[in-house]
Amino acid sequence: MAHETSHDSHAGLIWKVFGFLSLVTVVEVILGISKPDSIHLTNFLGTSILNWIFLILTLVKAYGIAWYFMHLKQEKASLRRAIVWTTVFLICYLSFIILVEGGYIGDVMSKYTNWNNK
């Protein structure tokens, strides 16, 4: 808005965001290949701490893309909230219901899988 009319170049900021996103991806890949036992073989709120780290880093990347590449930061707060709050709420709701259900089905079904093959 104020920026849009002044036609400043944001190239510097864009490259910084790119550097940050690449760094996060590199960290993810290093963790994904090494899978340190100390965080991989743990269980915290239903999954390993390693998986929580991946999830949080993913959300950080999503924030970077939406705020700086998709210019949500420069939109009016009301438009930004209409987009972000709605989507985030619906996705949280959907994943919560479906993943809890999946966990339940897994618990029930795993008793019937015959891994000893007898």
Partner 1 sequence: MEATVATENKNEGAWHGGGKKPLNASYGKMMMWFFIMSDALTFSGFLAAYGLMRFKFLDSWPIADEVFTHVPFIHGHYPMYYVAFMTFILIFSSVTMVLAVDAGHQMKKGKVTLYMLLTIIGGLIFLGSQAWEWKNFIGGTYGALELEDGKIVQFVDATGHQIALEDFVKRDNVERVQHTRSNGLWYVEDAGAIPPYTVNEVIQSFNANPNIALRTEEIISETKHKKILSREEANTFLEKSIGVVKGANLKVNEYGKTLFADFFFFITGFHGFHVFSGILINIIIFFNVIIGTYERRGHYEMVEKVGLYWHFVDLVWVFVFTFFYLV
Report residue 49 as tokens: 């701490």
Using alpha carbons only, give the angle 83, 87, 92 rounded to the nearest 5 degrees: 150
Binding mask 53-92 for partner 1 (x = CB under 8 A): -xx--x--xx--xx-xxxx---xx-xx--xx--xx--xx-
- Contact criterion met (CB below 8 Å) for 17 and 66: no
Residue matched to tokens 């780290």 = 53
> How many residues sit close enough to partner 1 to count as binding (CB under 8 A)?
62
For residue 54, the tally of other CB atoms under 10 A from its CB is 16
Closest to partner 1 by CB, 44 vs 58, is 58
Shortest distance (Å) from residue 45 CB to partner 1: 14
* Angle between helical axes of 49-64 and 11-34 (0-180°, round to 10): 160
Instruction: Using CB under 8 A, list all residues that contact partner 1.
Output: 1, 4, 7, 9-11, 14-15, 17-18, 21-22, 25-26, 28-29, 31-33, 35, 40-41, 47, 51, 54-55, 58, 61-62, 65-66, 68-71, 75-76, 78-79, 82-83, 86-87, 90-91, 94-95, 98-99, 101-103, 105-106, 109-110, 113-118
